[in-house]
Amino acid sequence: MFSRRGFLTAAGAAGVLAELPVRGDALVPDMMELRATVKAVQLLPSDYPKTEIWGYSDGTPGPEIRVPQGGRVQRRFVNDLPQASTVHWHGIRAANSMDGVAGLTQAPVQPRGSFDYDFTVRDAGTYWYHAHNRSVEQVARGLHGPLIVDEKAPLDIDRDVTLVLDDWLLEPDGGQLNPDFETRRDRSHAGRLGNFISTNGQSAWARTVKRHERLRLRLINASNARIFLLALVNFEGWVMALDGMPLPAPKTVSGDLLLCPGQRADLLVDVTAGDGEEAFLARIEDNQGYAQAAFPVRGVSSSARRGSPAPLPPNPAMQVTGLNAARELRLDMAGGAMGSLRSAVLNGQNTGFQRMVEANQFWAFNGTVGMTQTPLATVARGETVRVTVSNDTAFPHAMHLHGMHFRTVNADGLMGHLRDTLLSFAGESHEIAFVADNPGDWAFHCHMLSHAASGMMTWIRVQ
Ligand code: C2O
Ligand code: CU
pLDDT one-digit tens code per residue, 381-435: 999 999 999 999 999 999 999 999 999 999 888 899 999 999 999 999 999 999 9
The number of the ligand 1 atom at minimal distance from the alpha carbon of 262 is 1
- With a 6 Å cutoff on the Cβ, whether 419 touches ligand 1 is no
pLDDT at 16: 33
What's CA 416's distance to the chain center, in Å? 19
Could you list the beta-strand ranges (E) of 227-342: 228-233, 235-242, 245-252, 257-259, 264-271, 278-285, 288-300, 327-335
- With a 6 Å cutoff on the Cβ, whether 451 touches ligand 1 is no
Q: What pTM was computed for the model?
A: 0.93
β-strand pairing of 33-41 with 72-79:
parallel
- With a cut of 90, say whether residue 343 has pLDDT above it: no
- With a cut of 80, say whether residue 42 has pLDDT above it: yes
Task: Give the integer Cα–Cα distance in Å for 437 and 317.
Answer: 10
pLDDT at 8: 28
Identify the band that residue 20 occupies on the pLDDT scale cut at 50, 70 and 90.
low
Closest CA to 230 of 217, 241, 240: 217
pLDDT at 259: 98
What would the CATH number be for the domain defined by 159-300? 2.60.40.420
- With a cut of 50, say whether residue 1 has pLDDT above it: no
- The protein residue whose alpha carbon is closest to atom 1 in ligand 1 is 90
pLDDT at 19: 47
Cα(361) to ligand 2 centroid in Å equals 12
Residue 401 CA: which ligand is closest?
1
> For 113-125, what is the mean pLDDT?
97
Closest CA to 372 of 358, 361, 384: 361
> For 207-228, what is the mean pLDDT?
98
What is the arrangement of strands in the sheet containing 114-120, beginning at the earlier edge strand?
51-56, 33-41, 72-79, 114-120
- With a 6 Å cutoff on the Cβ, whether 90 touches ligand 1 is yes
> For 355-364, what is the mean pLDDT?
85
Report the share of the chain in percent with pLDDT over 70.
93
Share the mean pLDDT of the chain: 91
Cα(332) to ligand 2 centroid in Å equals 12
Backbone angles phi, psi at 242, to 5 degrees: -125, 135
- With a cut of 60, say whether residue 6 has pLDDT above it: no
pLDDT at 245: 98
What's CA 369's distance to the chain center, in Å? 22
Three-state DSSP class for residue 435:
strand
pLDDT at 363: 93
- With a cut of 70, say whether residue 22 has pLDDT above it: no
The number of the ligand 1 atom at minimal distance from the alpha carbon of 402 is 2
CB 191 within 8 A of CB 451: yes
Identify the band that residue 7 occupies on the pLDDT scale cut at 50, 70 and 90.
very low
CATH topology of domain 4-150: Immunoglobulin-like (2.60.40)
CATH topology of domain 323-462: Immunoglobulin-like (2.60.40)
pLDDT at 265: 98
Task: Give the integer Cα–Cα distance in Å for 456 and 366.
Answer: 10
pLDDT at 296: 98
Q: Which of 173-177, 199-203, 357-361, 381-385 has the lowest mean pLDDT?
A: 357-361
- With a 6 Å cutoff on the Cβ, whether 132 touches ligand 1 is yes
- For 130, the enclosing helix (H) or strand (E) is strand 125-131
Three-state DSSP class for residue 8:
helix
Identify the band that residue 13 occupies on the pLDDT scale cut at 50, 70 and 90.
very low
- The protein residue whose alpha carbon is closest to atom 3 in ligand 1 is 90
- With a cut of 80, say whether residue 3 has pLDDT above it: no
Task: Give the integer Cα–Cα distance in Å for 26 and 414.
Answer: 48
Task: Give the integer Cα–Cα distance in Å for 106 and 89.
Answer: 13
Domain with CATH 2.60.40.420 in the chain: 4-150, 159-300, 323-462
pLDDT at 402: 98
Identify the band that residue 242 occupies on the pLDDT scale cut at 50, 70 and 90.
very high
Cross-strand pairs, 398: 423
CB 424 within 8 A of CB 153: no
> For 114-133, what is the mean pLDDT?
98
- With a cut of 50, say whether residue 23 has pLDDT above it: no
Report the share of the chain in percent with pLDDT over 90.
82
pLDDT at 341: 73
β-strand pairing of 196-199 with 440-446:
unpaired
CB 55 within 8 A of CB 37: yes
Cα(192) to ligand 2 centroid in Å equals 11
Q: What share of the chain is helix, strand, coil (3-state, %, to 5)?
A: 5, 45, 50
pLDDT at 413: 81
- With a 6 Å cutoff on the Cβ, whether 144 touches ligand 1 is no
Residue 400 CA: which ligand is closest?
1
Residue 331 CA: which ligand is closest?
2
Cα(266) to ligand 2 centroid in Å equals 24
Task: Give the integer Cα–Cα distance in Å for 239 and 248.
Answer: 11
Residue 425 CA: which ligand is closest?
2
- With a 6 Å cutoff on the Cβ, whether 402 touches ligand 1 is yes
> For 19-41, what is the mean pLDDT?
75
- For 131, the enclosing helix (H) or strand (E) is strand 125-131
- For 187, the enclosing helix (H) or strand (E) is helix 184-188
> For 302-323, what is the mean pLDDT?
93
Residue 262 DSSP code? T
β-strand pairing of 429-435 with 406-409:
antiparallel
- With a 6 Å cutoff on the Cβ, whether 218 touches ligand 1 is no
Residue 131 region by backbone torsions, left for phi larger than 0, else alpha for psi between -120 and 50, else beta: beta
Cα(399) to ligand 2 centroid in Å equals 7
Comparing 56 with 371, the larger pLDDT belongs to 56
Cα(132) to ligand 1 centroid in Å equals 7
β-strand pairing of 159-168 with 144-150:
unpaired
pLDDT at 373: 87
Task: Give the integer Cα–Cα distance in Å for 289 and 12.
Answer: 50
